[in-house]
A and B are shown apart, each in its own frame.
Chain A
Amino acid sequence: MARDPKYDVLFEPVRLGPKTMRNRFYQVPHCNGVGSDRPGSQAAFRAMKAEGGWAVVCTEACFVDLEEDTAPCPISRLADEGDIRNHRHMTDGVHEWNSLAGVELVHLGAFASNLESRGVTFSSSVNTSPWTLTTYTREADEDDIRGLHRLFVEAAKRAEQAGFDIIYVYGSHSVLPMQFLSPYYNRRTDKYGGSFENRARFWIEMFHALKETIGDRCAVASRISVDQILGPAGIESRGEDILRLVELATREGLVDVWDINICDLSDYGEDAGPSRFNKSNHQAPFTTHITAHIKSIADVPVINVGRLTSPDDMLEVVSSGQADIIGAARPSIADPFLPNKIEAGRLVDICECIGCNVCISRHERGVPLVCTQNPTAMEAYRRGWHPERFKPASDSSAVLVVGAGPAGLECARVLGERGYDVHLREAEPEVGGHVREVMRYPGLAEWGRVISYRQARLDMLKNVEVHTGVGAMTASQILDYGAEKIVLCTGARWLGDGFSPVTQVAIPGVDAGLPQFLTPEQVMAGEPVGDRVVVLDADGYYTGASLAEYLADQGKTVSIVTQLPFVAPLTEWTLEVNNLHRMLHEKGIDQYPHHWIDRVEPGNRLKAALYNVHRDGYRRTTTPIAGELPRRAGTEEQVIECDSIVLVTARHPNDGLFTDLKARKESWATAGITGVYMAGDCYAPRQLSEAVFDGHRMAREIDSPHPQRPLPFIRERIVWDEAEPVAAGR
């Protein structure tokens, strides 16, 4: 198939100073939880995007010296020769596919944690950040500022040696240049503070320094947040400062490409907006006039971002003049081959990002990213997985996959790509498993793409049959089915007895068999919920808060009880937490953090005994006594009355079918069955991204000796070398 001519404009080259990108698809700098200290993973991850058609592929933020870090989150560094070699591996990989490589040089200032470097960072004033707390910056004097520029220049030279084509002055997300420009951070009274010219000086000087060092050989890119989303306390896109800065830099020809977004680093969920709160192209109202302003001065290309996943949206962005270049981070993670698929007319094959921000959440916790939609993300190096290439089936086994939830859909898809004959059987009339419920939570409709993408792919695979509405299969039916390999993907369920990790026991009086108690499945199935509802949330991720919102939107009076310090702490990593809590506050959802329920008195009106999880004595008893808590046992409790309790307390695997089949293992051989495996939540409940991953892995490794155990993968680590003890680890 060929490219639809309406997308031709997306494949026009764009000049970036001395360089030219071959199409308009640009992977903007983004973190991936590995950085330049793991060059194997870094290069394989970035090169995949170049192979997939992204004309520019950038690193994440890259430190210019040794003093700053963002530990535990790993990013890049260009401080010495070793760093050059590591980065060179990435640029070589990117160049192999005729793409350009970009590096985002950074001084983090107030946002550096320095937990590992133990260094001190400079800022415009003495600052710390809501992320960093306890670690403050030193206010840079003029000597320090000259030193900072020198570090930048040295790093730029290293960047050129490392093979980079585009070198950034990173100024968005309130890193150092913005800490000078924005009065939110800059309280100076010297020539670097006060008036616009003074506050802009540091930034303009950075541009000059870069231009002079490499300007005729590499493109100078400026990443800039045109609005800190702090209102008048900070930089505003409709305010004067940002327009004047952009005008100044453009007029003096200091910037070859503008990479524009919004936000302050303390809440960068306003930039990397999750789909729950921000729809595709959500930044346009802030950025469109900035592009127009730039264009009125000079024809310098402008990049916009906004979780653009659809080719038609991308087309609109370029055709309308909103931007020249389609910037993307998350859409390029979900589908590194997005540009190539548009080129080949394979629009249905595009795997669209769902905006769950699980990728970001892993980096935020200091580990390599993962992607719910693309299980091969960050697995190219360590497991050798390529999103478009699959090792052909090594035998002619026919595979029965039981359950078409996220794991089953993905397993059947990859088995189909490998050429296996597959029957995917789903009890319900529609595929999707528990994602069909999750996608109906407020704001999470885009998560339905986990289902629709796989449904479309399966529809095209001739060797995969999908059977729906067949009811729950029994062990006998499976033994009789005629398949050689069985993969059970029967998912998990929420427990209905109040069992949780808080106390590891059920809660007396709680019983989802009674109408007053409901599991998430029962709520979404439309079972009646009373007017006053308590959501009992031991899970800490999206389910409790989403159900609370779902019920509040129906006019119920809702409270959330959680043992955790606040509702949904895991959404801190996905950058949803601030807006989530604003939502809970705005919708009048009461919260009882640090609390749990000891027992519930049944009746039409439920009486739940609520207690603070810290009610016990804080002094541990010196001599333990068998049968007694080794501290004073607190007894204070308060009774709350409600009509319904929603139980988001714990999940449990639906592995009964596996137990039944295992009990009849002697019949397997006569039935022609060579293996029965489990993938996804039925093996062990886990996050959605991991269920999809598990289905994928099982399919890739189903012909390995023990498919239930993952094959070993490369751990990118330093192994001590006796011959070169000094070189090793340098």
Chain B
Amino acid sequence: MTPAALPDYDVPDKASFRMMVAVKQVGRLRDDVAIADDGRDVDASRLDYALNEWDDSALEEALRLVERLGGGEVVAVTVGPERADEVLHRVLAKGAQRAVRVWHDDLAGADAITIARALAGIARHERPDVILTGAQSADQAQGATGAALARMLNLPHVGVAVALDWDGAGPLMVVRELEDGGHHRVALPTPALASVQTGANQPRYATMRMIKAARAKPLVFVEGGAALDRGAFGRVVRAYLPRVDRGAEMLAGDADEVAARVDEIIRETVGDR
């Protein structure tokens, strides 16, 4: 599990701080879901695509960190086919300075570790001070890419971050969200990686001016075949729609009649208490 040895590309010298944000273009299901012919994924023609909500929050954290530091660069990286450029344009419009897209056709449907290898390959070139990812993606929801990426780069890392702060010199201060509503405050020496929880912030919108200006910002393509040189670390065997066993029973009647029937059903299913 090592970073992929990706080809060189034009990486500017680090003038100041550099944040790298891993973003993903996720597929959104519509009403008409179908499984693809190969039986291993959802039929892509029935998906809408969007920037992953968690990554939007990660980007917003990166932009705010750079704003509070008074300077610095945010580089957005994605592993995705050409349609993923749309998400990079959006991210550039919101304020990232540069964007990089890694792809090879054989990366389609790749597992989280392989994706992390590709991202790590870029991180090797970029040498960022902080890497932010979303805690998970809305479509696959593995929640693994950030942790894998940190491990490969030997970076300290935390997950489920809801607040970050860095003065540029000391440690990266992170507040993590715990399940019972508690919080965990952590200090990480940089370079470090944090995966960000949605709701950590309110991501900014890009105005039309920002969208137009983004067209002039650099968007680089990097050939990603090297991420496959260790083979796959997992593979989807089968994707299927859950079988519908029983239809729902429509409860008709006025409030009293419906309540009586609900009472009946509860007694039938759970038994009297």
A457 on interface, CB distance cutoff 8 Å: no
Inter-chain contact A400/B31, CB cutoff 8 Å: no
B14 on interface, CB distance cutoff 8 Å: no
A279 to chain B, nearest CB (A): 11
The interface centre, meaning the residue of B202, B205, B212, B250 with most chain A CB atoms within 10 A of its CB, is B205
B209 on interface, CB distance cutoff 8 Å: yes
Inter-chain contact B31/A320, CB cutoff 8 Å: no
Known: A465-B205, A470-B205, A481-B208. Contact between A348 and B31, CB under 8 A?
yes
Q: Give complex CA distance A482, B205 in Å.
A: 13
Contact of A347 (CB < 8 Å), options: B31, B202, B207, B210: B31
Inter-chain contact B208/A320, CB cutoff 8 Å: no
Q: Give complex CA distance A483, B207 in Å.
A: 9
Chain A residue at minimum C-beta to C-beta distance from B28: A459
Inter-chain contact B208/A482, CB cutoff 8 Å: yes
Q: Mark A343-381, 1 if CB is under 8 A from B, else 0.
A: 001011000000000000000000000000000000000
Inter-chain contact B252/A316, CB cutoff 8 Å: yes
Q: Give complex CA distance A642, B208 in Å.
A: 52
Chain B residue at minimum C-beta to C-beta distance from A348: B31
Inter-chain contact B31/A482, CB cutoff 8 Å: no
What chain A residues lie within 8 Å of B208 (beta carbons)? 398, 400, 421, 423, 481-483
What chain A residues lie within 8 Å of B211 (beta carbons)? 482
Q: Mark B235-265, 1 if CB is under 8 A from A, else 0.
A: 0000000000000001010000000000000
Interface residues on A, range: 10 to 19
Q: Give complex CA distance A400, B202 in Å.
A: 21
B82 on interface, CB distance cutoff 8 Å: no
Chain A residue at minimum C-beta to C-beta distance from B213: A482
Q: Give complex CA distance A519, B207 in Å.
A: 34
B165 to chain A, nearest CB (A): 23
Inter-chain contact A345/B207, CB cutoff 8 Å: no
B272 on interface, CB distance cutoff 8 Å: no
Q: Give complex CA distance A483, B252 in Å.
A: 51
Contact of A423 (CB < 8 Å), options: B31, B207, B212, B252: B207
What chain B residues lie within 8 Å of A347 (beta carbons)? 31
Q: Give complex CA distance A421, B250 in Å.
A: 43
Q: Mark B202-222, 1 if CB is under 8 A from A, else 0.
A: 100101111110000000000
Known: A1-B31, A1-B32, A316-B252. Contact between A482 and B210, CB under 8 A?
yes
**Which B residues, 46 to 103, have Cβ-Cβ distances below 8 Å to chain A?**
none
The interface centre, meaning the residue of B32, B208, B212, B250 with most chain A CB atoms within 10 A of its CB, is B208
Q: Give complex CA distance A400, B208 in Å.
A: 9
A480 on interface, CB distance cutoff 8 Å: yes
The 5 closest A-B pairs by CB, nearest first: A482-B209, A482-B208, A467-B205, A481-B207, A483-B208
18 A–B contact pairs at CB < 8 A?
A: A1-B32, A320-B252, A345-B31, A345-B32, A347-B31, A400-B208, A421-B208, A423-B207, A423-B208, A469-B202, A480-B209, A481-B208, A481-B209, A482-B207, A482-B208, A482-B209, A482-B211, A483-B208
Given pairs A423-B205, A423-B208, A425-B205, 8 additional interface contacts (CB within 8 A): A345-B31, A398-B208, A423-B207, A469-B202, A470-B205, A480-B209, A482-B207, A482-B208
